Structure 1
Amino acid sequence: MQKTDPQLEPTKLLDFDAEPIARLIDNRGWRDLSEFDRIGAVYDFVRNEIAFGYNRADDIPATEVLSGGYGQCNTKGTLLMALLRGVGIRCRLHGFTIHKGLQRGVVPELVYPIAPQEILHSWVEIKFQGAWINLEGFILDDAFLKVLQRSFSDTDSLCGYGAGTDCLSTPPVAWNGEDTYIQKTGIVQDFGVFDTPDAFYLSHEQSFGWLRGALYRHFIRHWMNVRVRGFRSGRLKASTNATHRHKEPANAA
């Protein structure tokens, strides 16, 4: 009996065998590309065709992220993993927490004090040419990232507005066969690697508490998404006064 590879299999969250994702892969012709270009095409799709935004929860399936058209680190990561596995690329999840200061500016100042000190975070690791490559740079779409680069052109170190980087002007976010990052400097805790997001969220969940969780799902995240769209469109201006320049050591290499 042939053994299955747990880093290539579909799961409840990595539902790449579902019709919407299977159709997307077929329509884009991604399976016909070289391995390098398969990774790049899928990565660029998630980075720029799935806008940066906040979903109802972290542990939602890839098809829900795709249909919504937006996501943050954890949910865009789930979609990225599903698409990668759908085109035959081995991948796994690396789990962390990041300091809440990284979300300052996106989280309205009125509710920022009640945000958890640490926010659940993850990036995707792929097996490419015999090595594990870290992919985190897909979180912020180019349109949103360019707003931050214009707004904070006087510094390369930013921890806020969804970015945690010491090279804001030229962050390593494009796929070139090497690691990509955009939130790495905000990392606090390292939970290690998991074959699937399903396993990660069974072990770790965002500690909102009942009241804060309900407020987040039904009110705060929608407010945050309005702000993200406002920054992206130019209706809102990113302000250095609202940016928490707190830097945590990056515990993961």
Structure 2
Amino acid sequence: MENYLKETRILDYSHETVQTLLEQRGWSSLDIVEKIKAIYNFVRDEIAFGYNISDDIPASKILKDGYGQCNTKATLLMALLRVVGIPNRIHGFTIDKALQKGAITGICYKLSPQNILHSWVEVLVNGQWYFLEGVIVDKPYLSKLQEQYIDCKTTFCGFGVYTDNFANPPIEWNNNNPFIQNKGINQDFGLFDTPDDLYSKHQQKLNFFKRLVFKNIVRHIMNSNVEKIRNGN
């Protein structure tokens, strides 16, 4: 159990920004289910869907950025849950890049790896593990995406979403397993106690040059494309 609560370089929950947020929100005074729900909703909706400089940045940096994708939102969610005493672990996968089409386009899409590193958080509640993958896409972004593709009610793949129920995807947590990208999973790397453990064994399949281009060019284009959707453009 200690492994599911420990602090690491990536899960830096003693950092001042994390501690200040905890004090401001008063999460520590809630019961276990309400703690998870409040933190899950915060990471889903108040941390906008977007692409950070890399997967292995610490929780405090994600909080400062104010945005994240599957892997970085997982990091922040884990850190915030651990700081209030909720045991958790991370499950690593890859997803097909088709899920990102629209957020990434043209030559950038063609040059991106077919399989993209993906993860979700698993949280222990009353002896049962729940999967919190639905935290990735914020509601304002999802609502605008649904407006743009209003005729689609069932399977939708693209713009960071892959679900069989696009009209009403299961993204709310209440002792259940919310999902928003899980239909794109094509490889299972298994369970890890921390993101540090996951990234020591698995990284995005990018060479040095492509990694540099992603950090400095591609992710900014992707974030711009996401913002256009969020703004209804």
The normalised TM-score by structure 1 is 0.90
SS at match of 2:4: coil
Question: What is the Cα deviation at residue 77 of structure 1?
Answer: 0.6
Structure 1 range deviating more: 101-110 or 180-189: 101-110
Deviations 1:159-192, CA, capped at 9 Å, x for gaps? 1110011011111101111101000000010000
Give the Cα–Cα distance (whole angstroms) in 2 for the partners of residues 115 and 67 of structure 1. Answer: 27
User: Sequence identity, in percent?
Assistant: 48
- 1:128-147 to structure 2, matched below 5 A, reads 128-147=125-144
Give the Cα–Cα distance (whole angstroms) in 2 for the partners of residues 80 and 217 of structure 1. Answer: 23
SS at match of 2:99: helix
Which letter does structure 1 place at the counterpart of 2:179? Y
2:65 matched to 1:94?
no
SS at match of 2:196: helix
2:50 matched to 1:53?
yes
* Aligned 8 A contact 2:134 2:170 in 1: yes
2:97 matched to 1:122?
no
What residue is the counterpart of 1:205 in the other structure?
A: 203
Give RMSD over aligned pairs.
0.9
Deviations 1:184-205, CA, capped at 9 Å, x for gaps? 0000100000000000000000
SS at match of 1:193: strand
What residue is the counterpart of 1:180 in the other structure?
A: 178
Give the Cα–Cα distance (whole angstroms) in 2 for the partners of residues 47 and 228 of structure 1. Answer: 15
- 1:143-182 to structure 2, matched below 5 A, reads 143-155=140-152, 156-182=154-180
Question: What is the Cα deviation at residue 211 of structure 1?
Answer: 1.5
Question: What is the Cα deviation at residue 116 of structure 1?
Answer: 0.3
Which letter does structure 1 place at the counterpart of 2:25? R
Give the Cα–Cα distance (whole angstroms) in 1 for the partners of residues 223 and 105 of structure 2. Answer: 11
Which letter does structure 2 place at the counterpart of 1:189? Q
* Aligned 8 A contact 2:145 2:230 in 1: no
Which letter does structure 1 place at the counterpart of 2:31? S
Give the Cα–Cα distance (whole angstroms) in 1 for the partners of residues 23 and 229 of structure 2. Answer: 34
Give the Cα–Cα distance (whole angstroms) in 2 for the partners of residues 98 and 147 of structure 1. Answer: 23
Question: What is the Cα deviation at residue 110 of structure 1?
Answer: 3.2
What residue is the counterpart of 2:82 in the other structure?
A: 85
What residue is the counterpart of 1:244 in the other structure?
A: none
SS at match of 2:107: coil
Deviations 1:60-83, CA, capped at 9 Å, x for gaps? 000000000000000011000000
Question: Of residues 12, 17, 31 in structure 2, which corresponds to 1:15?
Answer: 12
The runs of 5 or more residues in structure 1 that have no matched partner are: 236-253
Give the Cα–Cα distance (whole angstroms) in 2 for the partners of residues 52 and 229 of structure 1. Answer: 9
SS at match of 1:217: helix
Runs of 4+ in 1 over 4 A off after TM superposition: none
Question: What is the Cα deviation at residue 31 of structure 1?
Answer: 0.4
Give the Cα–Cα distance (whole angstroms) in 1 for the partners of residues 195 and 183 of structure 2. Answer: 22
Question: What is the Cα deviation at residue 234 of structure 1?
Answer: 1.2
SS at match of 2:7: coil
Question: What is the Cα deviation at residue 232 of structure 1?
Answer: 0.3
Give the Cα–Cα distance (whole angstroms) in 1 for the partners of residues 6 and 148 of structure 2. Answer: 42
**Structure with a larger share of its residues in helix:** 2
What residue is the counterpart of 2:193 in the other structure?
A: 195
